[in-house]
Structure 1
């Protein structure tokens, strides 16, 4: 049983005709018939119902069809990988991130593209709760998460340390405080993200533990909208420090420390444990590791 026989068998099964399969494969019809007969002889099974004119598969044919597809897909994957290698890593890097974690990727993608200008990069925006599933479904090779996934099939590498930051408008009464206690926040109006997350739940639990009300008067669909709304003087917000770097540097927002609210966020790259990563993905991981070594904290590269 060789791959040509399997390819011929699949062509007949899909075209439901020996003549159409022969035309598709650029072979003669007798050559196609001979390949099928030889395959049936080697397997000791009839694969096609000869009494049927439309190439209906027998039960044995249905079983073989599934495995034949897998084998031919593996052949194509192997050929693609070798072509990538010959062409100096030309290929495609598929990543998944959400609005927040995508910001972490930007300097790394800049460095990656400098080193690998021929590789196309595609970052798919995905809810954090879906990223591990997308990785396992082979939709993307690598995802970026702000929490460690529970699935044992997923390997994660901690790559960045971040923390929640309380941000206010420069004219807000707290802007000059520098540091406050969580009790001082009970009367404030918070602008919050409307997507549930493990971090949001930790904040809610921290306020409850300190018997302090958390008044989320406004909920918005993006971190960018939250920042803009607070800049306009509407309440305060807890956002990842990474997200507010530009506004804090320009003075558009002011960060206020909260003694009881030091919540660290660890960003992780995740990929399938049993994966044979593409050359593009392996090259990206090397860039991440080298970038962390060169820049130090908050960048890191720690497998877990």
Structure 2
């Protein structure tokens, strides 16, 4: 098409050959091959000035569009490589989204033209979303079993017991699990491995676990505890603002010291997009500059 347009614009096979730095026989051969493929004569050979036939005039318009599209595509890919455009899709649940916020802030500072989309997804579904290419990254509080998924530990967190500042236990600092047998727990209504561990720990210590209220979000749980309706076990990350402001008080429960490791997961065989590769670098550099509880530790075998 490029050769065809050159001949049409120069109105001469010899001038087109000079412009393209090719021999005239090579240009003539390219045009003959094109005519053979489409089954039409494109140039009036009886004319000395390379006049186009009707078929040539029709093809000229499309040829120009095709070469313009090629140029646009090349430019778009250059912009993509330079991170001047692109999109990054991630999956997280209500809790793990909080870990992402400072990283997304840093990523946007470095790459303001990349569009970010974090979809809220149940943790149990995130591995599937990663594998079916719905998202490039997911954030989980457990290591997925699927060998097709690569896992990197990126944050260390733990469960904390929170109470209202006016709660009778608020000033204790530390309580035993047996002291909690009479307390009303405000719990999340979505089953999780962490919830099951807590239930098993209470059983192990022969202490009743009274979950009198179940709510659909961690925000709702914290607000209900602030109102004085009971106690709750929540990830420390989710309670940072309330603990800092004093609207909630944290108590240590030695028997319930449960570390949670947040993991960034993605497809093991993935060819990461330019935006995704840049995000991974931000995660690593952020951990290096901020230290604990941030980290960048690929799981063994990951």
| Bin of the TM-score, shorter chain as denominator length | 0.7 to 0.9
Please report the TM-score for the alignment, with normalisation by the length of structure 1.
0.73
- Equivalent-residue separation in structure 2 for 1:289 and 1:184 (angstroms): 42
Displaced runs of 4 or more, over 6 A: 78-81
The C-alpha deviation readout for 1:123-172, integer Å capped at 9, x for no partner, is: 00000000000000000000000000011100000000000000000000
- Which of 81, 92, 102 is the aligned partner of 1:97? 92
Partner-residue secondary structure (3-state), 2:237 = helix
- Please identify the structure whose Cα radius of gyration is greater: 2
- Residue 277 of structure 2, aligned match among 279, 282, 297: 282
From 204, 212, 218, the counterpart of 2:213 = 218
Residue 124 of structure 1 corresponds to which residue in structure 2? Answer: 119
1:238 to 2:233 alignment = yes
CA separation in 1, counterparts of 2:291 and 2:260?
16
Report the 3-state secondary structure (helix = DSSP H, G, I; strand = E; otherwise coil) of the residue aligned with 1:180.
Answer: coil
Determine helix, strand or coil for the equivalent of 1:212: coil
CA deviation profile, 1:12-71 (whole Å, cap 9, x unmatched): xxxxxxxxxxxxxxxx9x949xxxxxxxxxxxxxxxxxxxxxxxxxxxxxxxxxxxxxxx
Alpha-carbon distance change, 169 to 276 in structure 1, aligned in 2, over 3 angstroms: same
1:57 corresponds in structure 2 to none
* Alpha-carbon separation, structure 2, partners of 1:115 and 1:238: 36
Counterpart CA distance in 1 for 2:143 and 2:241 is 27
Aligned length, in residue pairs = 233
What is residue 270 of structure 1 aligned with on the other side?
A: 265
Give the one of 97, 108, 121 matched to 1:113.
108
Say if 2:83 and 2:114, in contact at 8 Å, map to a contact too.
no
* CA drift at 1:287: 0.3
Check if 1:187 corresponds to 2:182.
yes
CA contact (8 A) 2:186 2:212 kept: yes
2:243 to 224, 240, 248: 248
Post-superposition shift, 1:237? 0.2
Q: Equivalent residue for 1:148?
A: 143
Q: 1:274/1:231 Cα in 2 relative to 1: closer, same or farther (>3 Å)?
A: same
**Structure 1 position 83, deviation (Å):** 4.1
**What is the distance in 1 between the residues matched to 2:234 and 2:87?**
32
Aligned partner of residue 261 in structure 2, secondary structure: strand
Q: What SS does the aligned partner of 1:122 have? A: strand
Give the corresponding residue for 2:286.
291
CA distance 1:261–1:107, shift in 2 (3 Å): same
- Relative distance call for 1:89 and 1:274 in structure 2 (3 A) is farther
The answer as to 2:165 corresponding to 1:175 is no
CA contact 2:83–2:275 (8 Å) conserved in 1? no
Aligned to 1:204: 199
- Structure 1: 5+ residue runs without aligned partners? 1-27, 33-77
How far apart, CA to CA, are the structure 2 residues paired with 1:120 and 1:85?
12
Deviation at 1:259, TM superposition (A): 1.1
Which deviates further from its counterpart, 89-98 or 119-128?
89-98
CA distance in 2, matches of 1:285, 1:79: 25
Flag the 1:80–1:108 CA change in 2: closer, same or farther, 3 A: farther
SS at match of 1:158: strand
